[in-house]
Structure 1
Amino acid sequence: MMAGQFSRREIVGGSASGAALLASGALPQQVLAQTAPALTAGEFTALRARYVTMVTGGTNGTVLYDDFIAGIAAEATSLSASFSTANARLWQDLDAERDNGLLLMSIARRVQVLALAYFMDRSSKKGDPTIKAQVDAGLQRIAQNFYNTSATRSTYGWYSLEIGTPLALLETILMLDGQLNQSVVNTLLAAVQLYTSDPLREQGLWPSNDSNRVWKAYNCLVHGLYIAKTDLVAGREKVAAAKNALATTFVYATPSIGGGEGFYADGSYIGHGDYAYTGGYGLSQFQFSAQIVYLLSGSSAQFTLEEWTNLRNFAYASFEPLMYRGHLMDTVRGREVARSFQSDHAAGHRLVTALAALAQVASATDAFNFRSMVRYWVKADKSRDIYAYYSDNRVSLHYIRLVKAIEDPLTGAEWGDRFAHYQFPAMGRAVHKRTNFALALATYSNRRANYEALGNENRKGWYTASGMVYLYTPTNLAHYKDDFWPTVDAYRLPGTTIDKRPRTPNEGTGTRGLPMVGGAYSSASGVMCMDFSADAGQLVAKKAWFMFGDLILCAGAGITATSTNRVETIIENRNIGADGTNPVLVNNTPRLTTLGDMTSQNPEQLAAGITATDNWVHIDGVGGYFIPRGNPAIRGLRETRRGTWYDIALLGRSPLDTRTRRYVTLWLDHGVMPTGANSQYAYVMLPGATSGTTEFYAANPNFQLLENSTQAQCAVQFGSTTALYAAIFWQNVSKSVDVFTCNAQAAVFVRRNANVMEVAISDPTQLRTTPISLTLRLTTSGDRIDNDPAITVVSRSAGSVTISFNPTNTNGESRRVRFPY
C-alpha cells in the first residue's frame, strides 16, 4: 500500500484512526467524493427519468422484447388473481412464511411487479385499473401494518428494513410518481429515511460492510432523487452521502485473518469475514455500484473515470477469471449455491448486464473490452437465454436492451476462452482455464473458513472447500445448474479426501484450517497445495494440484485418520442428467454398466490396490483420468440420486418436489486408518479428452511425480518447447528434490522455454517474515531480467542459481524472477 493510502478496514472503522476519519469527514482524496454535487432541479428531473427507464426499460417501440414483457404481465396476472385485501398478508400463500423480514420483502416485491406490469409500454396490463387498485391497496397495507417508523429490527430484521424492502418500494414510488396516495408515500418514505439515511452504518450501530454499504448507498441515492422535487438541498445531501459511501468501497481490503471484507488486489472477494463470495455479495456490490455510476454519468454528480478506476479493475481481476461461457463459478457463490432460484448462469447474466452498463460510460479501451466480454458470454451460454424472463431472477429490460445492442453487431470482437491460470490467496481459490474446459479449486485455511450455512442455507456444504474441484466443460454447461446441489452425494465431492462419518446439517460450518494453503504460478500453469485437517485433526493430508496445461496432476500424502471410518479420495462425481447413459471405459473395457440406486450403493472395484499397473478411466462427455500404479484400490459407481432443494436450504422459496439425477462417481479407497502406500495417491485429470487420447496418454505420460511425501511434493512436465517444474515444500527444514533445494515452507513453480526461465515462489502460510532460500540446479545464460524487490539473486553460475525471497507483506502471492536461458 502506498504512503498516504488508507485501507478499507481503516476507513470503515477497523481502527480508532478510521473512526476518526469518518467522524471528521477527512477521508483520503481518492476515496472522498464531492460533498455537495451542484445538481440543478433540471438535472434531478432528468435523473429521475433515467432511473425509471433503468428499472422499467423505457419505451419499447418494437416487438423485439414482447416475450420478455409478456413474462412480467403473466406474473402480474397471477399475482393479481390471488391478491386479497381480506388476507392480512394480501396473498394466502404467504401465510406459511415464518420469517417476518422475508414476508415484508415478498409483499413489497409483489407490489413492485404489479406496478411494473401496469406501467410498462406494450404490457397487456398497462393502465389496468384493477392492477392499479391493487398497487394502491398493497402500498397502503405495507405502510399501515408493516413498514413505517414504528417497525423494529427485532421484528423484521435489519436487512429487510434497511435494504430489501426500500429497494422495491422506491422503485414503485418513482415509477408511479404522481399517481399514488401521497399520504401513503410519505409514511413509507419516513421509514426509508429512518432506516437508510446513513449508508455508512447498518443496524444503527456499526459501520456497514461493502455489499450492504453499496445497497444502502443505492437506496439513499434514489430517495434523494425523489425528495429533491420539494427540497433541492436535501436531495443534494442524499446524493453526496450515497457517493461518499460508494467511494469507500472502491478501496482494496487489507488482508487479515477472519476479516478484511471486500475486494482484494489479488482478485479475491471476502464476504461475512470468512468466505469466498465474489459471485454472491461481491456480485451484488459490483452490480449496484455499476448502476450508480451509470445512473449519475453525465450529471454534475457523476463519478470521474479516475474515481471509479478500481471498479473497472474488479471486472478484470475478480470477475473475468471466474466466468466460463456465461456463468459465474459456484466455487465463489457461498451459500447461494443452495438456492434453486439463483444459479451460476443467473449470476453470470447479472454480471453481463453490469458490464453492459459500464461499457456505456467507460474509457474507450475498457468499453471495448467490456463489450467483448458481454458479446462472447451471451453467445457462449447455451443453457440459459439472457433475453428470457425469469421471475426469480428478474433483470430490468433496460439492461437487456443494452446487452442486445452490444451483441447485435456481427463483426464485434469477442472475448473468447483464455489459456490462463489464476490464484486468489486471500480467499483460497484457484482457476485453470483452457479452450475446452475450466477448472476451479476451493480450499480453506486458518485465514478463511470452510463453508457458510447462515439461515439454514447450504446445510450440506461440508466439503465444498475441502479441496473440491469444480470442472466446467462446453458439452455440459448446465452441470451445476441442473439440480446438482440437491441431488449430489455431499460426502463425495471431486478432489476431496474424506472419511465416511455421518454428518448432520450445518455441521462444522465456519471451521478454519491450517495455515499452509496456497500456491505459485507462472503464465498459464501453476501449483496449489492444502495442508488439510478435519474434525480437529482426526483426518489430515498433504494435498497438491499440479495444473500443467491440459492436465491436472492431483497428489496426496501423509493421509492419517484416527476414526474407524473408511477414508476416500474422490476423483470424480459427475451429474450426467436425469436419464444420462454416458459410457465408462476402464482400460478400454466398458465398466459401470449397471444403474444402481442411492438407497443400496453397490460400488464396483475397478482396480485392486495397491495397483501394480497403470490404469485409465474415461467418462464419455466428461474426459479421462490416468491413475498410475501404486495407488489404493479404484472404485466406481453409477447411481440414481434424489433430493429436494428444501433439504439443503430451509427457505419458503425452496421447492419441495423431489429431483432425480444420475451420477458417475470414481474414488480411491484408502481403507480404515490408512498406512503405507494406502496413505497417499496420485492421479491425472484430462478434462475433455477422448477415450483414445486418454489411452494414448496413459501409455505415454509426459510428467513425472518425483516426490510425494510429507516433506515435499514435486512434479515436472516436459513439452516440445516448454518445461514446467513445480514443488511444494511442507517443512521448515532444508530439503532437496530434483532441481530444487529450499530451506522453508514454500510453493515454487518454474517455467522454462527456449529463451527465458521464470521462477515463481510464494509463502502459502502467509506467516513467514524471514527470507526463504531457494537453489535451482538449472542452466541460465545471464543475469536476471526483472526487478521484483521481494527477490534477491544471491549467486548464479551457468548451471545453478540461488535466490532469496522475502515474503513479508506478499500475502501469499507469487513473486517472480526471470533469467535468460
Structure 2
Amino acid sequence: MSRRQVLSLLPAAGLLAVPFPARAAAAIDHTRLLTNTIAILAGTPDVNARPETAAKLASILGTARQRLTAMDQAGDGELFPGLVLGTDDVNLRLAFQYLYEIALATRAPGSALVDDAAVQRRVTDGLLWLHERYFGDQSKGYYGNWHNWEIGIPTHVSRILALLAGQLPQGLAATYIASMDAYLRSGKNGDVDLDSRFHTGANLADITANRILQGALTADDARVTKAISDQSTVFATIDPYDLQHGNTDGYYPDGSFIQHHSVAYTGSYGRALLTRVVQTLKMLEGVTSDGDLAPVVYRWVADGFAPLIFEGWMMEIVKGRAVSRTATGYTDVGVIVEAIADLADHVGDADALALKKYLRFLPAADTTAFVSPVSIARYAAIRADSAIPAADLNPAERCVAFNAMDRTVHRRPGYAFALARSSDRISKYEYMSGENLMPWFQGDGAYYLYLAGEDQREVFGVDYYTAVSPYRLAGVTAPVEERRTVPELYGRLWYENPGHPLNFTSSSESQNTYVYFPRAENTFSGGATLGTYGVSGMVQSDDAAYIAKQSGTLPDDFVAYQNARVTKSWFMLDDEIVVLAANLSGQAGRAATTTVDSRIAAPGDAVALTGERWNGGAWRPGDTTTTPPRWLRYANGTRRTAIGYAFLTRQPVTAGLETVTRSRRAVRTTNPDTPMTKNVFTAAISHPAADGVQALAYALVPNATEARLRGYTNGPLTVLANTRHIQAVKHRTLGLVAANVFTDGPHHAERLLIDGPASVIVRSGGNRTTVALSDPTMTRDRVTVVLHGAPLRLVTADEGVTVRRVPGGTLIQATTHHAYGRTFTVTLR
C-alpha cells in the first residue's frame, strides 16, 4: 500500500507518522535543496519586489549595516565590540549570529548589499577568525550551555555556509562541518543518537535541519538521507506505553506537547518544532517526498496550538521558563502564523482552506518578525483575499483536557480559562539559566482568565510575573514563607557539586530532576470533559527535590522547600468556573494563603472594587475578619472588563489594590533592568496554622455584572461534597453533576456512586443522560459509576464502555487501562 493509503486508515487524532521514505535509488538534488533554503531565508526577486516585504527587506539591510559598523569599531582581539570571547558561550553564539545577519543581506534580492563580494569576504574572514581562535579547538570549547554548541552555533554557521556556498574559501565548509560534528557530544560518533535525552522533540528537529544543509553543502547523500530519517521521528505521536528510544518528548494523542521529558511546552519548544518541520518541508520541496507528513502537522495546529491561542495570544501555561522573557504572547503566535501560512501549501484543499480562514481570523501578525520574505508574501495574499471568510479553528465553545501535560483550557465567547497542574509525570515548573527565577507555584493549580477584547500585554506576560508576588499567583495555595532563587542560594545559575554521587553539573540529569524542572509527588492530576464542559482535579504535593532531601539523597547544602497541602477541583461551565479546595494545610506549623485572583493594570486605569456581604450590606476593601463577602467584583473601566467572584462558603477575604514598581530583571537575569509600575489587584484567603485543615468554594464569573453576582445567592450552583475524598458540584440549570473522587472505594454524590479515584460528569435533559468518565491517576484498569434510580438503556458508548442494570440503578464501567487520562463517554435513556 502507498503511504497515503496507510495514513488514510489511521485515526486523525492519532497523529501517527512513519519516517520519510529513503531515496537510495536516486541521488539527492543538493543544488535544489540549497536554492530552496536560500529562498526561504533571503527571498526571491519577485517576492522581494512586493510592497508587503519592503519592511522585512529594510530590516535585513539595516541589521547588516549595524553589524558591519560594529565590526569597524571592534578593538584588538574583538570581532564585534563588547563580545568578549573565550569563556562565554552566549557571546560566541552571538558572534556567529551577527555574521549570519550580514551574510543574509548579501543574498537578499533588492538589498543594497546583494552580491557584495567585499562584504561576503568579511563574513568568511570572520568565520576563519572565529574557527581559528574559539571554535576549532574542541578541548577549549563546550563550556556553558550544551545547546549553544550543538544547536545555536551550528544553526547560524550552517545557514552562513548555505548562503555563501559559491564564495567560500576552499575547505572552509568541510572544516566547519567536521568541527560541528565534534561538538555533537550528546550524539554518537558525530551524528544524531535517537537514544540520547538531548536528541528529542524541537532539539532533534533543529539538529537534523542543520545536518540536512550540511549534507547538501558537501553533496553527501547519506548525511542528508540520515538527517531526514532522524527528523521524521518527531512526527510520531508519543505512546507512553510504547516509548521509542525511551523518548517522552513530542506530541501526544490529546494534543499535548512535552519537551525536557516533563515540561508542558507547546508555546515555546512546540512552536520551535512546528517552525523547523515546516521549514524542512519547504527545503525538501522538489528534492524528496514529504511522506504525507503535512496532515500530521495540521493536527498539531488544530488540536495542539489553536486551543492555546486566545485572540492572537499564546497562553502562559505552556511556555515553561519562557514566561519570564520580554517577548509577548502575540510575538509567540506570530511565529506560529508564519508556519501556518507555509503549511497551507502542503496540505489538502479542505485543510488548507481551514488554515487560511484561521489566518484571517487571528489578529494581523507583525511580519517583520517572520523568518522568510516568501512567507510574508504568502501570508499577505491570504489576509487580502476577501473570498476567504475568517473563521477560528476552535469551536465557539470548547473544553480541552491536555491531561498528558497536566493542562486544561476552557473557552467560551468572551473569555478563556487556562489551568496549570503538576504530577509525578509533569514538572511543577521550569527554571533554567537564570530564567523564571521564582517559578515555585506555577504548576500548583495556577490559572489565567483571559477576557475578550483585552490587550493581554496589559494583564499577563512578563509584567504579570514581575508585579505579582510568586506566592500570590491566581489560583495558588502557597505556604507563608520566603524562598530564595537559585542564584541567591548558590551564587550561580545552577547548583554545582560534581563530586557528589549525583554529579550535579549544569546539564546533568540530577540538575534537571531536582533544580530545573522537578516533578511533583502526586499521581492524581487530570479530569474529564463532556461536550464543552469539564472537570479537573489535583492533589497538591511536594516536589521531587523535597522528597529526595528528606530521604538523605541530596547534598547537605542543597536547599529544598516543603509545599502546602490541598485537594482541589475546577468545574468549568458556561458562565462560571467553580473552584473547590479541601484538606488545606500549610504544613509544618505554617500558615497558608489561597489566592482567588491576582490581576495587573496600568497605573492610570480606572479600577473599581465592589462587593456584598452575606447579610446584604455593601462590602468595602479593608473588610476582612468579621465580614466575609458573598461576592466581589473587579472592574477595569478603562479596559471595559470585569470579573466577579461568587463565594459559596463563608470565609474572610482580603482584597485590594497595590501599586508595585519592580524591574523585570527580578524574574530573569538577562531582562533589561528597567523599572515597570503596575496596579496589582489581589483577592486572597488566609489559612492560619492554628485553624487546622480547612475547605472553601468559590466561582470565577468572567465579565460579570453586579446583578449576575447577586443571582448566585439562590442561584443554580450547589456544592454537594468538599472533602479530601470527594469534591462535587451540581448546576441545576444545566442539569449537570460533576465530581472528582480522590481516594479508593465507593463515594456518593447526588445519585451517583463512584468507585474512585475518578473524574465524572453527568448531564441529564429530556429523556437522555450522558456520562463522562476518566482516570486522572492514569494507573487504573477500569472506572465504575452507578447511577441510582430507574434503570437506563444504552444509546451510544465509546469503545471500552459497558453498561448493565444492577439493583437500584445502572452500572457504567470504562476500561481505562492504558488510556492515559482519556475521557470515556456513554449516552443513556
Q: Name the TM-score, length of structure 2 as normaliser.
A: 0.84
Judge which range, 132-141 or 195-204, deviates more.
195-204
Offset at 1:483?
2.4
Partners of 1:787 and 1:77 in 2: how far apart?
62
SS of 1:732's partner is strand
SS of 2:724's partner is coil
Partners of 1:146 and 1:401 in 2: how far apart?
39
Counterpart residue number, 2:506:
none
| Aligned residues: CA RMSD | 2.9
Counterpart residue number, 2:557:
none
- Residue 718 in structure 1 maps to residue 728 in structure 2: no
> Which of 510, 519, 524 matches 2:527?
519
Counterpart residue number, 2:653:
634
1:49-71 C-alpha deviation (Å, 9 max, x unpaired): 22111011222113332223222
- One-letter identity of the residue aligned with 2:468: V
- One-letter identity of the residue aligned with 1:705: V
Offset at 1:485?
2.5
Is the CA contact 1:279–1:329 (under 8 Å) kept in the aligned structure 2?
A: yes
Is the CA contact 1:563–1:673 (under 8 Å) kept in the aligned structure 2?
A: no
Is the CA contact 2:325–2:462 (under 8 Å) kept in the aligned structure 1?
A: no
Partners of 1:309 and 1:153 in 2: how far apart?
41
Counterpart residue number, 2:679:
662
Offset at 1:784?
3.2
Counterpart residue number, 1:395:
371
Counterpart residue number, 1:325:
311
Is the CA contact 1:48–1:225 (under 8 Å) kept in the aligned structure 2?
A: yes
Counterpart residue number, 1:600:
none
**Change over 3 Å in CA distance of 1:64–1:449 after alignment to 2:** closer
SS of 1:785's partner is strand
**Change over 3 Å in CA distance of 1:630–1:34 after alignment to 2:** closer
> Which of 345, 362, 372 matches 2:347?
362
Q: Summarize the alignment of residues 416-495 of structure 1 with structure 2, pairs less than 5 Å apart.
A: 416=392, 418-474=396-452, 475-478=454-457, 479-481=459-461, 483-495=463-475
Q: Summarize the alignment of residues 41-56 of structure 1 with structure 2, pairs less than 5 Å apart.
A: 43-56=29-42
Is the CA contact 1:626–1:683 (under 8 Å) kept in the aligned structure 2?
A: yes
Runs of 5+ consecutive residues of structure 2 not aligned to the other structure: 1-15, 490-513, 548-561
**Change over 3 Å in CA distance of 1:730–1:357 after alignment to 2:** same
Offset at 1:425?
1.5
Offset at 1:718?
2.9
**Change over 3 Å in CA distance of 1:782–1:72 after alignment to 2:** same
Partners of 2:478 and 2:446 in 1: how far apart?
11
1:438-476 C-alpha deviation (Å, 9 max, x unpaired): 111001112112011122221101111110001222223
Q: Percent identity?
A: 22
Is the CA contact 1:633–1:670 (under 8 Å) kept in the aligned structure 2?
A: no
SS of 1:514's partner is coil
Is the CA contact 2:406–2:525 (under 8 Å) kept in the aligned structure 1?
A: yes
**Change over 3 Å in CA distance of 1:782–1:200 after alignment to 2:** farther
Counterpart residue number, 1:181:
169
1:452-511 C-alpha deviation (Å, 9 max, x unpaired): 112222110111111000122222322323622223211100011112210111487414
Partners of 1:263 and 1:30 in 2: how far apart?
11
> Which of 556, 560, 566 matches 2:591?
566
Offset at 1:116?
1.9
- Residue 584 in structure 1 maps to residue 609 in structure 2: yes
Is the CA contact 1:518–1:529 (under 8 Å) kept in the aligned structure 2?
A: yes
- One-letter identity of the residue aligned with 1:516: F
Is the CA contact 2:87–2:143 (under 8 Å) kept in the aligned structure 1?
A: no
Counterpart residue number, 2:150:
162
Q: Summarize the alignment of residues 752-763 of structure 1 with structure 2, pairs less than 5 Å apart.
A: 752-754=764-766, 756-763=768-775
Partners of 1:171 and 1:128 in 2: how far apart?
18
Offset at 1:154?
3.4
1:162-206 C-alpha deviation (Å, 9 max, x unpaired): 211121122222223323433444432332354569796369977
Is the CA contact 1:717–1:724 (under 8 Å) kept in the aligned structure 2?
A: yes
**Change over 3 Å in CA distance of 1:572–1:622 after alignment to 2:** farther
Offset at 1:547?
0.3
Partners of 1:674 and 1:777 in 2: how far apart?
37
- Residue 774 in structure 1 maps to residue 785 in structure 2: yes
SS of 1:571's partner is strand
Partners of 1:211 and 1:407 in 2: how far apart?
29
**Change over 3 Å in CA distance of 1:440–1:147 after alignment to 2:** same
SS of 2:106's partner is helix
Is the CA contact 2:138–2:183 (under 8 Å) kept in the aligned structure 1?
A: no
Partners of 1:772 and 1:584 in 2: how far apart?
44
> Which of 23, 26, 47 matches 1:36?
23
**Change over 3 Å in CA distance of 1:68–1:294 after alignment to 2:** closer
SS of 1:422's partner is strand
Counterpart residue number, 2:123:
135
- Residue 530 in structure 1 maps to residue 549 in structure 2: no
Runs of 5+ consecutive residues of structure 1 not aligned to the other structure: 1-28, 229-233, 380-384, 593-603
- One-letter identity of the residue aligned with 1:36: R
Is the CA contact 1:345–1:481 (under 8 Å) kept in the aligned structure 2?
A: no
**Change over 3 Å in CA distance of 1:558–1:30 after alignment to 2:** closer
Is the CA contact 1:446–1:513 (under 8 Å) kept in the aligned structure 2?
A: yes
Counterpart residue number, 2:214:
223
- Residue 624 in structure 1 maps to residue 672 in structure 2: no
Offset at 1:696?
4.4
Offset at 1:125?
4.4
> Which of 501, 512, 516 matches 2:481?
501
SS of 1:362's partner is coil
**Change over 3 Å in CA distance of 1:485–1:375 after alignment to 2:** same
Is the CA contact 2:791–2:805 (under 8 Å) kept in the aligned structure 1?
A: no
SS of 1:747's partner is strand
1:226-268 C-alpha deviation (Å, 9 max, x unpaired): 222xxxxx2x222211221122111122327997222111211
SS of 2:712's partner is helix
Q: Summarize the alignment of residues 325-364 of structure 1 with structure 2, pairs less than 5 Å apart.
A: 325-340=311-326, 342-364=327-349
**Change over 3 Å in CA distance of 1:692–1:610 after alignment to 2:** closer
Is the CA contact 1:725–1:749 (under 8 Å) kept in the aligned structure 2?
A: yes
Offset at 1:420?
0.1
Aligned residue-pair number? 750
**Change over 3 Å in CA distance of 1:630–1:64 after alignment to 2:** closer
- One-letter identity of the residue aligned with 1:783: L
Partners of 2:684 and 2:790 in 1: how far apart?
40
Partners of 1:85 and 1:310 in 2: how far apart?
48
Offset at 1:743?
2.5
Partners of 1:736 and 1:203 in 2: how far apart?
48
- One-letter identity of the residue aligned with 2:530: S
> Which of 271, 280, 284 matches 1:296?
284
